[in-house]
Structure 1
Amino acid sequence: MSEDFYDALGVSRDADADEIKQAYRKKAAEYHPDVSDDPNAEEKFKQVKKAKEVLTDEDARAAYDQMGHDRYEQAEKRGFDASQNGQDPFGGMGGMGGGQGSPFDDIFEQFFGGGGGGRGRGGPRPGRDLRAALTIDLEDAFFGTSREMTVTRPTRCSTCDGHGHPEDADARTCPGCDGRGQQVRVQQTPLGRVQQTTTCPQCEGEGTLYSETCPDCDGEGVVMEESTIDIEVPEGIRDGQTLRMDGEGAPGEPGARDGDLLVEISVEADERFERDGDDLYVTHPVSFPQAVFGDDLEVETLDGTVSMDLPKGTQSGETFRLRGKGMPRLQRRGQGDLFVRVQVVTPDQMNAEQREALEAFAEAGGEEIDVKEGFFEKIRNSL
């Protein structure tokens, strides 16, 4: 799938960042591989994710609009020669130009490792995603549930509002990177000159040093705190699926979005039911007469009991389908099916009348059975 990023998200070319993010959330929910039936869901999900990343980055969007979709993707695949110093990898085709000081230096540095500006020029860094785990039982997965989860996570420091330094601290340009936030190292290799860009260790990519650090967060901008989060688990969720809690992850730098909390769901095995996708399997015991003559059975489901007609002459191990009595389909209509395995139970104890009737049944069918009684059973029958 190679589609214009604006078309992929369904937004106009003058859409602002908020419109793009809102469109992305809608498309991501539609194409997420865990919930979508579309055979190309994974590829479409990756495409809308990439579209959002490019169109919400000011420099990347400017380059994309200038180059067009096809040339932009080709530029990513083509790579970047450090000797071009940030120039258009297609040699200036399409009006990119690109000598020293090109307005697109930063975007080519991001994609090709060239020598553009540091993190400060690319905007504040968003928060990283955090992970947690939640275990529920099969009934919770059937009906859905609300849970409170306590997590210890980094939280933006309230003392310095995440800046890592007092508001009145003196600021100066980092001497290690001249305020760029990054350091560039050029090496000569058998394949030519290779340019490597790394985050400046002195200012950690800020480009600025401050005379004081925040006493509560030691300049990190975040502190570890215990938080209680409400988790809404939808009905039909499967073991191993992940819920994304928007904005509940680690805080971003001031002006950037917070990360998300990814909650991996574990569904405990159930003693009564086996689950296969949206279908359930249950074993239902029946007596020998029920199997021979048929009966109206009361079958247990996760949503109460239902009636099932057991045909005459049912064999042990036969399976019957009860449509729509399985698990709810996640974010879709309807339910899976319930498969009922019939197990004919052989009695391990019989009274004399039952024994005589069964022996007569065997004889009527021409079966010769050597019925042996134990010592205590003989005494019991004689009494």
Structure 2
Amino acid sequence: MDPYEALGVSKTASAAEIKKAYRKIVKESHPDINPGDKAGEARFKAAAAAYDLLKDPEKRARFDRGEIDASGQERPEANYYRNYAGARDNPYRGGQRFDDYEDLSDFFSDFMRSQRGARGGAGHDHMHGFHSDGEDLRYRLEVPFMDAALGGTTRITLPDGSVLQVQIPRGIADGQTIRLKGKGGAPVGKGRQGDALVTVSVAPHKVFSREGDTIRVVLPITIDEAILGGKVEVPTISGPVNLTIPKGASSGQVLRLRGRGIAPRGREDRGDQLVELKIVAPPSVDDELASFFEAWKQKHSYDPRKGMKT
């Protein structure tokens, strides 16, 4: 189905219009919203396949130029062979034309048989028929930060509307690829089924960031926690733990939690988590707090910017 028709937009529609049309169909026809509605499910799958193609500017341009079909696959080049085979100047044109073959494998089968006949039929039985491995198909998938860190399962809606289950390995990094054997293009003859190659992009997290196998967290602490020290709870990817804040801590100071980071793919040892302290003033300063610091300032004044003076 034409992707523009599937989304109900014109070929000149902007990226924003295409996205808006897709979201409208999702709200109206998603299987989770309308269970049992086969027509709605079919409409949703067609729209998902269409949006997957048209949201990518490069794919959209290639489709508009006729280089790929609605499923995102390269247009078959058989017509080029077909046109040449039918040309008058084709030196191999014989009694049977290329156009007479409905399937490319039939043409190669007949060609190989004719070659065996010309060579006496000896030693060429292994060339009977034409076999080719299926194409490896490439996809991109955004996964939640925690699924990339700890592993998980998600689904991809393919261009043809079918759904592919994907196991996210623990510790996978942004830009790495998952290979799903046998989930790619169909082979010709006795060839091997192609694979699906899924390149992962990791979504950002509101608390955690990642640098290799290291997790970083910015931890807000109060003025009294910075001055007096003590134990505070800090989040990690495997759950909250208690962290000891030293007396006289400063904003920007970094503390290390060993073994609380990422376990890389195929390994059990984990990286560390770095906790950067950030002193946060109270939401409002009352008279008591202001008076206390005024009195303290008179006796203990210091200049933290002294080393910056030139």
Name the TM-score, length of structure 2 as normaliser: 0.54
Instruction: Give the distance between the partners of 2:284 and 2:270, measured in 1 at CA.
Output: 41
Instruction: Give the distance between the partners of 1:260 and 1:340, measured in 2 at CA.
Output: 41
Aligned counterpart, 2:145: 138
Cα shift at 1:327: 1.8
The equivalent position to 1:150 in structure 2, one of 157, 177, 184, is 157
- Greater RCO, CA 8 A, separation 6+: 1
Say yes or no: does 1:341 pair with 2:303. Answer: no
Aligned counterpart, 2:182: 247
Aligned counterpart, 2:298: 363
AA partner of residue 237 (structure 1): I
Q: Give the secondary-structure state (helix, strand or coil) at the position aligned to 1:360.
A: helix
Aligned counterpart, 2:245: 310
Deviation string, structure 1 residues 9-49 (Cα, Å, up to 9, x no partner): xxxxxxxxxxxxxxxxxxxxxxxxxxxxxxxxxxxxxxxxx
Aligned counterpart, 2:226: 291
Aligned counterpart, 2:65: none
Aligned counterpart, 1:270: 205
Cα shift at 1:306: 0.3
AA partner of residue 145 (structure 1): G
Q: Give the secondary-structure state (helix, strand or coil) at the position aligned to 2:158.
A: strand
Aligned counterpart, 2:20: none
Instruction: Give the distance between the partners of 1:364 and 1:122, measured in 2 at CA.
Output: 95
Cα shift at 1:275: 0.7
Instruction: Give the distance between the partners of 2:294 and 2:284, measured in 1 at CA.
Output: 14
Instruction: Give the distance between the partners of 1:366 and 1:273, measured in 2 at CA.
Output: 36
Q: 1:333 to 1:123 in 2, by over 3 A?
A: farther
Q: 1:131 to 1:347 in 2, by over 3 A?
A: same
Deviation string, structure 1 residues 173-224 (Cα, Å, up to 9, x no partner): xxxxxxxxxxxxxxxxxxxxxxxxxxxxxxxxxxxxxxxxxxxxxxxxxxxx
Instruction: Give the distance between the partners of 1:240 and 1:233, measured in 2 at CA.
Output: 13
Cα shift at 1:122: 9.7
Instruction: Give the distance between the partners of 1:238 and 1:232, measured in 2 at CA.
Output: 14
Which structure is larger by alpha-carbon Rg, 1 or 2?
Answer: 1
Aligned counterpart, 2:98: none
Q: Give the secondary-structure state (helix, strand or coil) at the position aligned to 1:304.
A: coil
Cα shift at 1:149: 2.0
Q: Give the secondary-structure state (helix, strand or coil) at the position aligned to 2:197.
A: strand
Instruction: Give the distance between the partners of 1:344 and 1:351, measured in 2 at CA.
Output: 18
Gaps of 5+ in 1: 1-116, 153-224, 369-383
Cα shift at 1:227: 2.8
Greater than 4 Å deviation, 4+ residue runs: 119-123
Instruction: Give the paired residue count.
Output: 179
Deviation string, structure 1 residues 50-103 (Cα, Å, up to 9, x no partner): xxxxxxxxxxxxxxxxxxxxxxxxxxxxxxxxxxxxxxxxxxxxxxxxxxxxxx
Cα shift at 1:366: 4.4
Instruction: Give the distance between the partners of 2:155 and 2:226, measured in 1 at CA.
Output: 48
Deviation string, structure 1 residues 212-265 (Cα, Å, up to 9, x no partner): xxxxxxxxxxxxx54322211111111111100111111111111011100111
Cα shift at 1:143: 2.2
Cα shift at 1:121: 7.0
Cα shift at 1:346: 2.9
Aligned counterpart, 2:131: 124
Deviation string, structure 1 residues 90-142 (Cα, Å, up to 9, x no partner): xxxxxxxxxxxxxxxxxxxxxxxxxxx9x957961111100112111111112
Cα shift at 1:315: 1.6
Q: Give the secondary-structure state (helix, strand or coil) at the position aligned to 1:313.
A: coil
Name the TM-score, length of structure 1 as normaliser: 0.44
Equivalences for 1:110-259 in 2 at 5 Å?
A: 120=127, 124-152=131-159, 225-259=160-194
Instruction: Give the distance between the partners of 1:261 and 1:342, measured in 2 at CA.
Output: 43
Instruction: Give the distance between the partners of 2:275 and 2:242, measured in 1 at CA.
Output: 12
Cα shift at 1:304: 1.5
Percent identity, please.
Answer: 34
Gaps of 5+ in 2: 1-123, 304-310
Instruction: Give the distance between the partners of 1:122 and 1:327, measured in 2 at CA.
Output: 50
Q: Give the secondary-structure state (helix, strand or coil) at the position aligned to 1:125.
A: coil
Whichever structure has more strand as a proportion of its residues is 1
Instruction: Give the distance between the partners of 1:271 and 1:347, measured in 2 at CA.
Output: 22
Deviation string, structure 1 residues 147-175 (Cα, Å, up to 9, x no partner): 222213xxxxxxxxxxxxxxxxxxxxxxx
